[in-house]
A and B are shown apart, each in its own frame.
Chain A
Amino acid sequence: MRISRWVADRWVMGVALLVLFYLSLPILVVAGLSFNRPSSRLSYDFNEFTLDNWKQPCATSDMCDAVVRSMEIGLIATVVSTILGTLMAFALVRHGFRGRSGINGLIFLPMATPELVMGTSLLALFVAAGVPQGFWTIVIAHVMFCVSFVVVTVKARLSGMDRRLEEAAMDLYASEWQTFRRITLPLVLPGIVAAALLAFSLSFDDFIITNFNAGTTVTFPMYVWGAAQRGIPPQVNVIGTAMFVIALLLVGASSLRGRRARRAALAAPAVGAGTATSRS
């Protein structure tokens, strides 16, 4: 009786922990391998603990070039797609125009299309147009599929926003620009930031579409793919772990900041609170 009660109280937690473990196991393996000195080039066994990989993360200059290139592509694609996507989201939510519902549907197309199909058709397009493949064709391709995700993310945030807040701002002497700057933008910003982070990770991670349109340019995922044929250098795990830790720190910092702001706000009116509540 007591045991079944104990289980009943905790089984949801137990399942949750199990799922969490399942989700994080691959990441733990990557992190572990980043501290491993493999016995041979093609071996993935845990052999010996070492910090060498972290001390010299650039195994080959090729790899670090690829990482930097991926970062550059990611940043450019993120900036361009975030700006374009945010503007599109505003247009779709705020303005009625012919073909709006059509565009709302088309937005999902790049997400729904298999990457292989998109990669090949883009390649065909670039070849037909006589555009040499390379850095910029990758950027163009990444912007294209990132825009969809940005639009959807920002749109969700924007349509959840109360229009009366903007009316209230205008009523309180804020011009159209001031209303946008002081009210609309700050309220939509979390959505835009989330969209940008999503765009960056999508771009940094993409292999299939990139592979079709890269020409001779090598991005980090392409480097890893190529290296897999002849033995992945353990430093790849260092890059992977580092990316993960940076992402974790970003998320942690933002939630910590939110919690601290909340706590400060609660603590502030300690003096006035007593008198005011007794009156209300």
Chain B
Amino acid sequence: MGHETPAGDLRLANLTKRFGVFTAVDDLSLTIPQGSFFALLGASGCGKTTTLRMIAGLEQPTGGQVLLGDRDIAGLRPYKRPVNTVFQSYALFPHLDIHENVAFGLRRRGIRQVTDQVERMLALVQLEGYGRRKPAQLSGGQQQRVALARALINQPQVLLLDEPLGALDLKLRRQMQIELKRIQTEVGITFVHVTHDQEEAMTMADTVAVMNAGRIEQLGAPAELYEYPATAFVANFLGQSNLLAGDAGGHSGGDVLVAAHGSRFSVPAGRARVDRGPVFLGVRPEKLHLVGGPDQVPAGHQHVGGVVSDASYVGVSTQYLVRTAWGSELSVFAANSGVGGQLAVGATVTAHWDPRHAFVLPRESGADDQTAPLLDEPPVGVAS
């Protein structure tokens, strides 16, 4: 078995998977450091699960390598890899009890004395005493923990998690997020977590890779991705962004100048992905602040005027839509901290922001403003 060999980073090199004419994973290369909690984040159909299945050996890559340390495991059968998976629907063996489910991997490797290890593992996932039950007799959250125990007991070099919390309700999901993070810190195994839930990825992972159409759009720490997204896709997939279509006009001092909708803005050079050509000027909704008029804008802040067209009160914050003079609607989240009152729909306001909170992204010429509509759920970083 693999885990006697020296552990190492998991590297995907030019990994490609085609199904007929459809390219599910497109020339993917990335390195996942040993012992890290890595999240592959993307909408359904973006190739994240296919990537995971290629690491597990359940799918043969069309091209490229899966390297564990220096060893290419891409051609190995699933049972020859020091990798274990927590499946989306858990895939617990219905005819075996919990004890035998957890012991399955050990037994297949010819280990006879499994009871102690199984008991220890069940204790780790807080399921002591459940060994004799069948999977169908457990709740969703308990089944999820059995699936985790069944994979972890083998001490794999890499643990793959395929939307492991997708079937759980919100409260349980939060609880399991914390639990998973705790267990990962405790066992120190590399976790590769596939999810479409941006919040899940951000709360748990050290590094998040945002996938779109078989490619990685951006890879980095959650805060990095959120505060300074690399593409319009990331800016809107990870939370919400107000992206204003404009044109960058080069440097002025330490700033990049952007002309958009007849106004001139500037952004620190360190927050601009490009400094010339068509760009998006982006500001997160919670980084926008509303005041009554341009004279109340703090020094150094930049601003646009508009009219409040919608206000929804969601408890911790109020989410406003502000219609600008050119017709786009900006999202603005105002924390309900007790300072300042609620603004009425129809009020004339000025939205301002600190340029250090704005960012500049490349834009396909012709693309218009992208401002996300109000969400049902409060987005990351504002509520919850």
Residues on A facing B (Cβ under 8 Å) = 162, 164-165, 167-175, 178, 182-183, 186-187, 262, 264-266, 268-269, 271-273, 275-276, 279-280
Contact = CB atoms under 8 A, between A and B. Distances in A.
Interface in B109-139: 109, 126-134, 137, 139
A167 B126 contact: no
Given A167-B91, A172-B104, A174-B79, A272 B154 contact: no
Contacts of B83: 171
Nearest to B84: A171
Interface stretch (B93-101, B303-311, B322-330): B93-101
B56 interface: yes
A175 B79 CA distance: 6
A178 B132 CA distance: 23
Contact of A173 (B97, B108, B127, B139): B108
Contact of A183 (B1, B93, B109, B127): B93
Interface of B is mostly: loop
A178 B129 CA distance: 28
Nearest to A166: B91
A43 B132 CA distance: 59
B82 to A, nearest CB: 10
Contact of B128 (A170, A172, A268, A276): A276
B265 interface: no
A265 B98 CA distance: 10
Contact of A269 (B85, B94, B95, B133): B133
B379 interface: no
B78 A170 contact: yes
B104 A174 contact: yes
Interface of B: 1, 56-58, 77-79, 83-85, 87, 89, 91-95, 97, 104-105, 108-109, 126-134, 137, 139, 141-142, 150-151, 154
B42 to A, nearest CB: 21
B104 A269 contact: no
16 contacts: A167-B91, A168-B91, A170-B78, A172-B84, A172-B104, A173-B105, A173-B108, A174-B79, A187-B95, A262-B134, A265-B97, A268-B132, A269-B132, A272-B127, A275-B128, A276-B129
A265 B142 contact: no
A264 B133 CA distance: 9
Contacts of A183: 93
A269 B77 contact: no
- List 7 A-B pairs, minimum CB-CB distance, nearest first: A272-B129, A268-B132, A172-B105, A168-B91, A173-B108, A170-B78, A164-B91
Interface of A is mostly: helix
Contacts of A273: 129-130
B94 A173 contact: no
Given A171-B56, A187-B94, A272 B87 contact: no
B91 A165 contact: yes
B150 A172 contact: yes
Given A186-B95, A279-B126, A173 B154 contact: yes
A142 B105 CA distance: 43
A271 to B, nearest CB: 5
B328 to A, nearest CB: 45
B59 to A, nearest CB: 10
B134 A171 contact: no
B130 A168 contact: no
Contacts of A280: 126, 139, 141-142
A165 to B, nearest CB: 5
A179 to B, nearest CB: 8
Contacts of A266: 133, 137
A164 B92 CA distance: 9
Contact of A265 (B127, B132, B151): B132
A171 B97 contact: no
Given A170-B78, A175-B79, A183-B93, A276 B130 contact: yes
Contacts of B131: 268-269
Nearest to A261: B134
A161 to B, nearest CB: 10
Contacts of B108: 172-175, 178, 182
Given A187-B94, A265-B137, A266-B137, A170 B129 contact: no
A178 B105 CA distance: 11
A174 B154 CA distance: 13
A187 B94 CA distance: 8
B55 to A, nearest CB: 11
Given A171-B56, A269-B132, A280-B141, A165 B93 contact: yes
A121 to B, nearest CB: 43
A266 B87 CA distance: 26
A153 B150 CA distance: 32
A205 to B, nearest CB: 32
Nearest to B88: A164
A268 to B, nearest CB: 3
B142 A275 contact: no
Q: Which of B78, B84, B133, B154 has the most CB of A within 10 A?
A: B78
A271 B341 CA distance: 55
Contacts of A167: 58, 78, 87, 91
A262 B97 CA distance: 11
Contact of B79 (A164, A171, A262, A268): A171
A271 B91 CA distance: 27
Given A173-B108, A275-B128, A276-B128, A265 B91 contact: no
A230 to B, nearest CB: 53
Given A167-B87, A268-B133, A272-B128, 17 more contacts: A162-B89, A165-B91, A167-B58, A167-B78, A167-B91, A168-B87, A168-B91, A168-B93, A171-B84, A171-B85, A182-B104, A265-B133, A266-B133, A269-B133, A271-B129, A275-B129, A276-B130
Contacts of A169: 93, 104
